[in-house]
């Protein structure tokens, strides 16, 4: 599986796929955001070639497309890993060891916040509140919530995703 996520699409594939997505959404009012969401879902990020193709096909300035991408934190122009690991650093999580959990994840993966592992298996992000303060500290891997996480259980949690498994692991 790791070999599959390493291969980035060619610029030609990006333009062709993006053009097809734009054409599917062209008649929708406010098509830009749904197009960007679909392109990011397809590639795992928004390559510059996709942004240029989107602007051209929708007949809007590139600056408008880039402005939307940079405004919304959901969008990324950096390739993400197959699994996105998010560590909460909201108040409850922070005081209950969230910073230690973040350091443990960073050390285990060998990357910092905002980076992706070389094999594109994991990306690391931090958040300010996931709305689960009673479960603090909280770590999300994709949509899986891991509660009351300690630095010591981070290797076990991540190994489940390396092995193609998932599921909640708590301290």
What is the per-residue pLDDT across 23-53, written as a single tens digit (0 to 9) for each? 999 888 899 999 999 999 898 889 999 999 9
Q: What is the mean pLDDT of the chain?
A: 90
pTM: 0.68
Superfamily name with CATH number, domain 83-162? Glutaredoxin (3.40.30.10)
> In this structure, are residues 61 and 52 in contact, taking their beta carbons and an 8 Å threshold?
no
What is the per-residue pLDDT across 56-103, written as a single tens digit (0 to 9) for each? 999 999 999 999 999 987 788 988 888 999 999 999 999 999 999 999
Q: How many residues does the chain have?
A: 171
Q: Which helix (H) or strand (E) holds 86?
A: strand 83-88
Q: What is the pLDDT of residue 141?
A: 95
- Domain residue spans in the chain? 6-71, 83-162
| pLDDT bucket at 9, cuts 50 / 70 / 90 | confident
Question: CA Rg, the chain, in Å?
Answer: 18
Q: Residues 53, 57, 60, 61: what is their CA dihedral angle, to the nearest 10 degrees?
A: 30
**CA distances in angstroms from 117 to 79, 122, 159, 163, listed in the order given:** 10, 6, 14, 16
């Amino acid at each position: 599986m790791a070999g599959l996520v390493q291969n980035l699409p060619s610029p030609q594939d990006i333009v062709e796929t993006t053009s097809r997505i734009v054409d599917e959404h062209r008649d929708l009012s406010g098509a830009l955001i749904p197009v960007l969401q679909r392109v990011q879902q397809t590639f795992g990020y928004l390559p510059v070639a996709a942004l240029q193709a989107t602007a051209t096909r929708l007949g809007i300035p590139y600056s408008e497309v880039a402005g939307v991408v940079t405004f919304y934190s959901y969008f990324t122009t950096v390739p993400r890993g197959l699994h996105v690991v998010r560590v909460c650093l909201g108040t409850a999580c922070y005081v209950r060891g969230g910073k230690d959990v973040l350091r443990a994840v960073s050390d285990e993966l060998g990357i910092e916040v905002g980076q992706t592992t070389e094999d594109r298996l994991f990306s690391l992000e931090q958040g300010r509140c996931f709305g689960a303060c009673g479960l603090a500290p909280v770590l999300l891997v994709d949509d899986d919530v891991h509660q009351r996480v300690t630095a010591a259980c981070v290797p076990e949690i991540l190994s489940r995703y390396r092995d193609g498994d998932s599921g909640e692991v708590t301290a």
